[in-house]
Structures are given as structure tokens and as C-alpha cells.
Structure 1
């Protein structure tokens, strides 16, 4: 699915190629003819993208051609962005010297102090790009790619849902399973035995509805009245006994304790459970280790008889080692009739096809191909809801070539089909989420700011951050409505991706996005690292320098994001050597997004000044006491997050140089508010202070004084 970036990125390239700054610099450097050739070549390529996107499904050469083109588009964008950034830097220099004219004077030889040293390198890069472009133009003809009308491709337009969607928590065909499991939960305590709790398993393949059924039981009124304590923990791939124990304790005790010792934590949990009947849901358990399980349940011996642990899992090995009642252990796929009803609800807003008999044959084919999996049926139902009940769309979905793809890596063809229906921009935004690990809880506002920083939401009007953010929220809501995202079960303000959706994002991201975790480290090829453009790092308690050797090889990297698994509200800082940053940052000159949140660092290295393309800088919950003046040379910086920097005491004296800054988050950074009095000239800057969001336009002292924490 390599076309995902190209259709969205090419319009941005055309806009930059025709901008006044790029034209002026190209003329001065004598390469304006080369830039015009780029425009012509890209126009020829853009005309065949629709045909290429359809053929890449079954043609490996076309997919390779699209990947090569995407890499080259990134390279062109980096070159042009570097020129525009250089122009801004020179304009700032001239303004500080009292020069008012812009484009004309910013390109004069007198201000090109570093130009002579980079001319040879720059010309060599332009030649490489031009030659590669010509090769790709020739190859498109060899591949038989044709020009097609944009409207002929389903999903090419950005659509908004016009009708309400059935509540995703609604259950079809699971009433019997629910009632049987409910009875199991509410049974009186068994005869005295060696443990006071029992296991209630829900087992089934991914997407069949295990978590949804568990959630339905968890919120059932009878269950709430029956158990004194409840907790829900998403376990996922890594069975971290300490993390799970901590989340159980904090959920049941309603506290946020900073316990770092496993023994003290389990003693506290055992004391809290003493004599009480609890319900615990362990969602998405993958471990097959009985030793892991024994470690986790040690404190549970103090609980009251009749306590229950619901375990949802795809694997049965661990369960076979435990004592449990096998009732309803295996959650099967939905029967055809129930599956048809589920499609009807989400596609048509009705319970069956009685009033839509012409669509029923196609729905039956879809149900058969989905294998009765709830997630796939809902997602396809929502896709078809946008088709206005037109038979030809139902026929196209039921007979798509994508159904013939092998289900590699557990990615259902049904999910690839709903992904293929997305517009190019939505594909790009969804693929970006492959940087997040499974069960990662993310915030809508933060994700939109990341999309903006990456340039995914670029608008024709420069610096129109309000319109970009509005579009970002619309795109997010559409992905949510199509089941690509789900609301987090316990924190309604946060969101999560289903495991299968996370697998889908990883699958379509291919060689442009890499999530560096313990699994990916073992499978990535070192020679591929130089191609990656976006990388995330799943944090650990202690980080050795060797862990970041992969990033040093990724010279074209645009994104360095630190992620984590678990609740964002309980995440803790982790140790990180300042030397790693000092050595690493100069190796990554094309970075646009840098997230160092929760790093135990005490200062921002001066080497950050080499990141001229940077748009997003997150230093939240670090131990920094000041920002170096060099930060104010990051002229492209749009978002600066200083949330929870409790030791930060100073802003740079030249903070006003950050004219493109649009979002400043200083929540829980108490010493900083008094230093904001002089930033009124940063027009349209949005500042987040605690829970107050203020739009500052020509801000004066009286307005600052009127704000309260």
C-alpha cells in the first residue's frame, strides 16, 4: 500500500516548488531549470498513481516502484524544506540588522556565509534526484501504468459520515454466552479449597469479540453490586508482573502510589484485598508461563471466597495449567444469521435485510469471507454505510481482489479492504500510528499535533494552524467511526487501537515506519535502517547507548518518538544518558518530531540547534532547569511541550524568534507562567495552562494577569 503517502505528499511538493522562496533561491543558485524539470516529471507520475495503487495489490514490481517513488518524494521534500528554512534564518538575521526586504535580500551573496562549502554537495544531490526521477518516469511506462480519472477510484474523496452509527458496544448473537458467563461470575463460593478465587476464561481468535464481551460483563449492574472491588488490566504481549500488579492495586485502592519495590507492592495489594470479594479482568493475555502467573497471583490468597478473574486470550496453553471451569471457554465466530444482522446494523441501521433484499446476496458473500469475525463485520458495515446503498459498491466490496491475498501476519483481508477504501491522507495518518505499541493509550489532541508537525495536514494558506487542527480532528473522528480507533475502556478521554488494527498499521507502514522494540530489534536488517523515515522507541527502565545505534544509521529520519505501554497517567521517568543525546542529535539533521518526554535528563544539549527542520519538541516531565538560547534558532518549531517540567525556571531571552510557534504546553510547570508576559508578539500562539486553553493574539500584560491556574 505504498501509495498512501504519495497522493498526500505530492500536492505539498508542488506548492513548495512554486513558492516564491524556492523560486528565488533556485534562480540564484542557477538550478531553476532543474526545478521545472522536477515539476514536469512529478506531474507525469501523479497522473498514474490511481492505476498504480490498484495494481500494487497484486504486482510486486509496481509496489517496488511506488516505494522508490515515495523515498524520492521524501528526499525532494527535505531539500525544499531545507531551502525554505534557510530563507527564514536569513530573513531573521536581516530583521535583526534592520533590513526590511525579504526574498530579494535573503538570497544575496553577502549573507551566504556557508553556501560555498555546500555547493558541490547540493548539486550532487540535485543530480541524483533528477536522474532517479527520470528513471521512475521511464519505468512507469515499462510497468504499463495508465492515466485514470480520480473519481473512478473508490474512497478517493474525503467523505464525512452523514448518519449516526450503531453503538459499537452493542452485541449481536452473544446473549447466550453473556448469560452463561454472568451466572459463572455470580455463583456462590465453592467448597473450601487452596484458593479463594476462580478463573473465568474467554478464548478465541483475534477480532471475534472477546474484549467486548468481557467489557459488557464488567459493566453489568449485577456484577457491580456483587463484587466489592474491580480492576481491568490490559496485559498484551509482555507479561510484566510488576506493571500488572501496580495497575491492579491502583485501580482497586483508588490511589496512585509511587511504589518501585515488587515485595512492598504485593504486600500492599494483599492487605487491600484482605477479606474482600474482587473481580479482575486480565485482557489479552499472551504468556504461556505458569511461573509468570504464580508471581502475579501471590497476593490474592487474602481475598474473600467467590472472587473471580476473567482472562481473555487467544492461547489456551496457560489456561490448561490452571484450575478453571471450562464453561464457554472457546468464543466461536458469529453464526451467519447473527453476522448478517451485525452487518445490517452497521451498514443500514436496521436489524436485517428484509427491506434491502437486493443487497443481501452481497452481504452473505461478505459474511462468509469474514469468517464471522465481529471486528471485520463491523468495520465493513461502516464502510458500506458510506456507499448510499448502491448495489455496485456492495458488489465491488464482495468481489474485491484483496480477498485473494494471503492472511499474512494475521491481517484479515477484510481489514485491508477497509484500509484500501480510505483516502490517501487517511491512509497516511493511520500508517503513522504503527509507531505506537499494542495497547498504547493515546490522546487525540497530541496525535493531531504530531500529524501537523509531520506536514500531513498542510493547507494552502501558510501557518493556518486553526484550519489544520480542525481538519486533524475531522480525520481522527472519521478513523474512529470506521473502527480504526476505539475509546479506551477505562479512560474515556483516551483512545486505543485493536490488536488487529495495530497489526494492519504495521503491515501497511512497510519500510518507512519502524517501532523499535525487543521484537523488531531481532528482525530488522541493518542495511534497511538508512531508509526509515519515522521511528519510535518503546522505552525501558534503563537505556544503553547500543540501543540507539539503529537511530544513528537512520540519516533520513524525520521522527524520533518515545512510547510506552500502559496508562499515560501512571507512567514514570526513565534514565537516559545526556551523552546519548549529545552524540545522537547531530546524526539526525532532518528530524521534524522529537519526543523526549519522561527522559531523566537535566539539560537540553546545544546540539539540538542542528535540527533546523524541527516542528515538534516534547520535553514533558524531564528535569531540565532551562532551555538553551540555541532552541530559538529552530525557526520551524510549531509545538513546544513543557508539561510537568517542575524544575524549569527560565525561557530563552530570544524566545520571540520562534515566530512559527503555535502550541505551547506549560501545564504543571509552575515557575514558567510569570515569564510569559513578553510573548504577546507571537500571534496565534495557543498556550495550555493547566486545563485552561487561551488563544493569545497581541497579548498584553493585563490579559496575562487575568488568567488563573
Structure 2
């Protein structure tokens, strides 16, 4: 049966990912959590397949589902092969010592670019697996309810979670000052007296552009503090669960009420806490393009009385998500300039109290900044020690 064949395939992939996740390879540093999630998701795949063997559910939908799962398993296998090969190649390269200059450094073998590429691929695979879980527990009815509930909860815990506070490497905001100012002005001027209207501004951009960091910058602006009575941060990620988001809102407003399970009760307390208050709600990392889920969430928020002037910010990678939710002009996040990337790299490379860099080091550093491709995340990956090591090694070749 296809299910049993996939089980054997999953076993081999699971062995690979478990081995990789357990080792301290420098090249997997930036996506170790994603590998751990991939490992756990494949463990749940095995549980699903055992459930299939004992289930009466059969038919074309199940066969398509299994085929999709098989395709994802092969993609995961290919990515893990890439990681394994790259790790072996780097070990050989280190033994022979690096003798390549700037041009070679920024080739496909660049560890920073490789890590980002692999992280993106693994996240995409994990997202596809989560969607399959949802299909199995929902319209296909493949998984027993107890297993579906456990799987759903586990996936939610494993998903990426952001918070409103700045991480240590997010405090330096470069190239986004005008964007922050414009969005703050837009939010403050959104004084609509219409009922059943909630202004929504979408921040859209590819991975690594700093959508979450931008949202945090807006969240902590003094003008936002003085204008809004309440500020609420909820990381949505996947899956888009309306009750979970509502509970996140309530937890931000009234932490002692966070354990409430009933959706009606959650909405009731939200109404009490937000009544006659102007609030800013940030929904970070939204993936779902389902307009019905958004309508369900919005319907609860619109039952709160006298909240005119309140606003919502949504961060997403998807134009389709933005189209479903937005009512205000969109913020399409641009890449940074080479000079802006250089300022980030320089800040990481030359901490306070460090000796000044030489002219030759700065020239090489600016070349590094050019190769960041305008992505703040790439610029931030290069910390001071590794940057100096890179530059000195290049200059000594």
C-alpha cells in the first residue's frame, strides 16, 4: 500500500533529520528549530499512517492526500541530502583551508546564503505538512479526533512565535524610519466614525525584509502610546485559529482570563476590556488566505462598542492575505540599499570600544554588504567576530 511505502520513506528521512538536529553543525545554526519541527512532524506522519491502517476512511481523497504527503517527504529528503552534502564539503574545504577571495566567498557556497536558503526550504516544507494535517483532521476525516486534537495543539506550539519586545539585534533600525513615521501618521489619522468599520493596514514583504521588526518599531513609538489606550500583539503564524487569536488578545488585556475555553466567554471579556477604548492590534505573521476565518475574527471585534479610531496591522509574506484583510493603503516593504546594509554590518562588526577598521577592511566590508541583497536579516547574521574573521581571511589570501 502507498501508506506503508511512505512509512518506510518517512523512517529514512526521520533518521536523517534526527541525526542532523542532534549535531552542532555551524551551518544548521539558523534553522535548528525548523529541523526539530520537521522531525516532530514526521513523527506525527507515522502516527497518521498507523491511523490510516486502522481507519475505515478510504477513497480518492485519501489517495491524493497520501500522494501529496509522499511528494513532501521526497522534497524533505532532497533538502536533507543537500545539508548533509554541504556539511561534508565544508569539512573537506576547512581541511584544505580557504583560498578563495571575495568573489568565491559570495558564491552559492556562502554559508550565510546557504543557511537562509535551507531555512526557507524547510519552513516551506513544514508549512505544507501543517496544511496536510489540517486537511487530514478536517475535510478528509483521515485522523481520529483524539489524534487530530493532539496534532493540532503540538503544531501550534512548534510554530514560530514572535513577541512585541525587541530582540538584541533588532534595536538598530536602519532604512525604515520614514516608513515607521508614515504608518504611525496613517494610523493616528484613521478617525472613522462609521460603525462596523475597522481599519487594517498590511505590511507585505519577502522573508528577511524585517516585517516583524518594523511592526515592533511602530508598536513602541511614543505617538502610538499616547494615541491608543491599548496595544495588543498576537503572533498568528499557522494555522489561523480564530479562538486561539481571540484568546491571545484576551491574554494581553487580562492575563488571568487566558485559560477561558468558550469562544463566547472570550468575546464577552474582550468586549468588556476594550469598550470605549481606542486600541492597536498587531497580527504578526499571517498566512491564511481564508476570508471566512478573517470575517469570523472581525465579527467578534466589531461587537465591541465605541472603539472608533482603533486599527489593526497585519504582517504577511502573501499579497493574497493582504487583499483579504486590508482596508488602508498597503506597505510593500522594499529591500535596503547597499549603504543601509553596510551600516547594519558595521554596527555588528565594530562594537563600542573596538579598534577602528582599516580602509582595506572597510572596502571589503562594503563588498560584503552589497552581497546581502538588501535583506536586513542577512546583514544581522554577520556578527562582529565572524565578520572580522571573514574580512581578515579574505585579505590574507
Q: Please indicate the TM-score interval, normalised by the length of the shorter structure.
A: 0.5 to 0.7
Matched, 1:368 2:363: no
Task: Provide the residue aligned with 1:133 in structure 2.
Answer: none
Task: Provide the residue aligned with 1:272 in structure 2.
Answer: 273
Match of 1:168 among 167, 170, 177: 170
- Displacement of 1:149: 5.7
Matches within 5 A, 1:5-154: 63=84
Task: Provide the residue aligned with 2:259 in structure 1.
Answer: 258
Q: Distance between the aligned counterparts of 1:257 and 1:7, measured in 2?
A: 37
Task: Provide the residue aligned with 1:234 in structure 2.
Answer: 235
Matched, 1:314 2:331: no
Shift of the 182–259 alpha-carbon distance from structure 1 to 2, 3 Å rule, reads: same
Shift of the 263–223 alpha-carbon distance from structure 1 to 2, 3 Å rule, reads: same
Listed one character per residue, the Cα deviations across residues 630-655 of structure 1 (whole Å, up to 9, x for unaligned) are: xxxxxxxxxxxxxxxxxxxxxxxxxx
State TM-score, norm by structure 1. 0.32
Q: SS where residue 332 of structure 1 aligns? A: coil
Does the 8 A contact of 1:204 with 1:314 survive in 2?
A: yes
Does the 8 A contact of 2:201 with 2:313 survive in 1?
A: yes
Q: Distance between the aligned counterparts of 2:267 and 2:214, measured in 1?
A: 29
Task: Provide the residue aligned with 2:194 in structure 1.
Answer: 193
- Displacement of 1:151: 8.7
Matched, 1:342 2:344: yes
Q: SS where residue 359 of structure 2 aligns? A: coil
Does the 8 A contact of 1:199 with 1:325 survive in 2?
A: yes
Aligned length, in residue pairs? 255
- Displacement of 1:298: 1.4
Q: Distance between the aligned counterparts of 1:61 and 1:229, measured in 2?
A: 47
Matches within 5 A, 1:209-608: 209-301=210-302, 302=304, 303-327=306-330, 329-349=331-351, 356-382=358-384, 384-385=386-387, 387=389, 390-393=391-394
- Displacement of 1:394: 6.9
Bigger RCO of structures 1 and 2 (CA < 8 A, at least 6 apart) = 2
Name the structure with the higher helix share: 2
Shift of the 65–263 alpha-carbon distance from structure 1 to 2, 3 Å rule, reads: closer
Q: Distance between the aligned counterparts of 2:182 and 2:23, measured in 1?
A: 51
Q: Distance between the aligned counterparts of 1:382 and 1:177, measured in 2?
A: 28
Does the 8 A contact of 2:208 with 2:375 survive in 1?
A: yes
- Displacement of 1:381: 3.9
Shift of the 149–320 alpha-carbon distance from structure 1 to 2, 3 Å rule, reads: closer
Does the 8 A contact of 1:278 with 1:308 survive in 2?
A: yes
Shift of the 330–270 alpha-carbon distance from structure 1 to 2, 3 Å rule, reads: same
Does the 8 A contact of 2:201 with 2:326 survive in 1?
A: no
Task: Provide the residue aligned with 2:28 in structure 1.
Answer: none
- Displacement of 1:148: 7.5
Shift of the 330–248 alpha-carbon distance from structure 1 to 2, 3 Å rule, reads: same
- Displacement of 1:286: 0.7
Q: Distance between the aligned counterparts of 2:250 and 2:23, measured in 1?
A: 47
Task: Provide the residue aligned with 2:109 in structure 1.
Answer: none
Does the 8 A contact of 2:212 with 2:284 survive in 1?
A: yes
State TM-score, norm by structure 2. 0.55
- Displacement of 1:306: 0.5
- Displacement of 1:359: 2.3
Task: Provide the residue aligned with 2:103 in structure 1.
Answer: none
Does the 8 A contact of 1:206 with 1:314 survive in 2?
A: yes
Q: Distance between the aligned counterparts of 1:64 and 1:279, measured in 2?
A: 47
- Displacement of 1:230: 1.6
Q: Distance between the aligned counterparts of 1:203 and 1:307, measured in 2?
A: 21
Shift of the 391–4 alpha-carbon distance from structure 1 to 2, 3 Å rule, reads: farther
Shift of the 391–152 alpha-carbon distance from structure 1 to 2, 3 Å rule, reads: closer
Q: SS where residue 370 of structure 1 aligns? A: coil
Shift of the 390–334 alpha-carbon distance from structure 1 to 2, 3 Å rule, reads: closer
Shift of the 166–307 alpha-carbon distance from structure 1 to 2, 3 Å rule, reads: closer
Q: SS where residue 359 of structure 1 aligns? A: helix
- Displacement of 1:336: 1.3
Does the 8 A contact of 1:266 with 1:299 survive in 2?
A: yes
Shift of the 316–395 alpha-carbon distance from structure 1 to 2, 3 Å rule, reads: farther
- Displacement of 1:271: 3.1
Structure 2: which 5+ residue stretches go unaligned?
1-16, 26-80, 100-166
- Displacement of 1:225: 1.8
Shift of the 152–362 alpha-carbon distance from structure 1 to 2, 3 Å rule, reads: closer
Q: SS where residue 295 of structure 2 aligns? A: helix
Q: Distance between the aligned counterparts of 2:371 and 2:83, measured in 1?
A: 27
Q: SS where residue 283 of structure 1 aligns? A: strand
Task: Provide the residue aligned with 1:593 in structure 2.
Answer: none
Q: Distance between the aligned counterparts of 1:293 and 1:200, measured in 2?
A: 14
Does the 8 A contact of 1:208 with 1:331 survive in 2?
A: yes
Q: Distance between the aligned counterparts of 2:307 and 2:342, measured in 1?
A: 43
Q: Distance between the aligned counterparts of 2:296 and 2:228, measured in 1?
A: 24
